[in-house]
């Protein structure tokens, strides 16, 4: 490489060198290497810029592909949740048809309002928490229509949260699960739902008596909680805690989400 540069770029300089016995070798070589570096530096700098641009472009394309994959997976999970919710609600209405036709009619009307929110207002990445609270309240009222006096439902939500926004439909599967497994036809039970907000943390706790389903009970598909856990991993990585516990016949779930 040295010889190539000397022959092509410093031929004139080499021709004009002092005789061997009159020049100082190390100084001339140092001068030669400095000249070589001055020519090589712009070339190396140009290569570095092009390499950096190529890396930035590759990273941007990778990030775009990852984001597209994430959005596709979230959309799939959302579409998966909607029929699951509808299926469970229809099961509840079916159980009322013979017992109380009037309640069944009222339930269908209420379900229509819930489905309107589910289909038209949850397509955005974030929704006001107040909208989610309103949705949960309506769902609890809907479920109360089929309960007997043996089941008590207690719920507490923040009165007004206009500033807080959250990914939609994260809590409804927990409430569905409580009504599915926490209601008995011949035993007293309590379903307790509590949501609080402290700074930017939404804390949601739900407790219910646990009545294991019979093996021949095929209502529901068990997809709700698995769907929720997957969405939490995608939407709030390292920004949520999700704890489940069954103790003394009471099933307790606590979900905390950092919203910003």
Annotated domain spans of the chain:
77-258
Q: pLDDT-based confidence at 210, cuts 50/70/90?
A: very high
Of 228 and 63, the one with more pLDDT? 228
Q: What is the mean pLDDT of residues 150-175?
A: 89
150 CB-near residues (< 8 Å, 6+ apart): 184, 185, 186, 187, 188, 189
Strand, coil or helix: what is 163?
coil
Q: Is the pLDDT of residue 216 over 60?
A: no
Average of per-residue pLDDT values in the chain: 77
CATH T-level topology, domain 77-258: Heat Shock Protein 90 (3.30.565)
- Distance separating alpha carbons of residues 71 and 134, to the nearest angstrom: 26
- Distance separating alpha carbons of residues 68 and 60, to the nearest angstrom: 12
Strand, coil or helix: what is 166?
strand
Mind giving me the DSSP string for 27-45?
HHHHHHHHHHHHHHHHHHH
Q: What are phi and psi of 124, to 5 degrees?
A: -90, 165
Percent of the chain beyond pLDDT 90? 30
Percent of the chain beyond pLDDT 70? 67
Of 103 and 168, the one with more pLDDT? 168
Reported as a single tens digit per residue, the pLDDT across 38-93 is: 666 777 777 778 788 777 776 666 665 555 555 556 565 565 566 667 776 777 67
Tokens encoding 245? 């516990």
Highest mean pLDDT (candidates 39-43, 100-104, 176-180): 176-180
User: Where does residue 142 rank: exposed (0-12), middle (13-18), buried (19+ CB within 10 A)?
Assistant: buried
């Amino acid at each position: 490489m040295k010889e190539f540069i000397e022959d092509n770029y410093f031929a004139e300089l080499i021709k004009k060198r002092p005789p061997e016995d009159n020049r100082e070798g190390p100084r001339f070589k140092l001068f030669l290497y400095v000249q070589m570096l001055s020519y090589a530096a712009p070339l190396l700098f140009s290569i570095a810029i092009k390499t950096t641009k190529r890396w930035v472009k590759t990273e941007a394309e990778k990030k775009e592909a990852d984001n597209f994959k994430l959005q596709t997976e979230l959309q799939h999970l959302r579409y998966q949740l909607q029929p699951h919710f509808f299926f469970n609600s229809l099961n509840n209405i079916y159980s009322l048809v013979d017992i109380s036709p009037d309640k069944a009619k009222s339930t269908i009307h209420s379900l229509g309002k819930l489905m309107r929110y589910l289909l038209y207002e949850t397509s955005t990445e974030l929704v006001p928490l107040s909208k989610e609270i309103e949705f949960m309240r309506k769902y609890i009222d809907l479920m109360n229509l089929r309960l007997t006096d043996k089941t008590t439902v207690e719920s507490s939500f923040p009165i007004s949260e206009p500033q807080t926004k959250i990914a939609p439909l994260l809590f409804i599967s927990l409430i569905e699960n409580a009504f599915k497994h926490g209601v008995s036809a011949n035993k007293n039970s309590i379903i307790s739902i509590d949501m609080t907000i402290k700074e930017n943390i939404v804390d949601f706790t739900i407790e219910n008596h646990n009545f294991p389903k019979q093996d021949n009970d095929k209502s529901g598909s068990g997809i709700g909680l698995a769907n929720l856990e997957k969405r939490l991993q995608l939407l709030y990585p390292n920004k949520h805690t999700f704890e489940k516990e069954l103790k003394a016949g009471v099933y307790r779930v606590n979900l905390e989400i950092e919203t910003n």
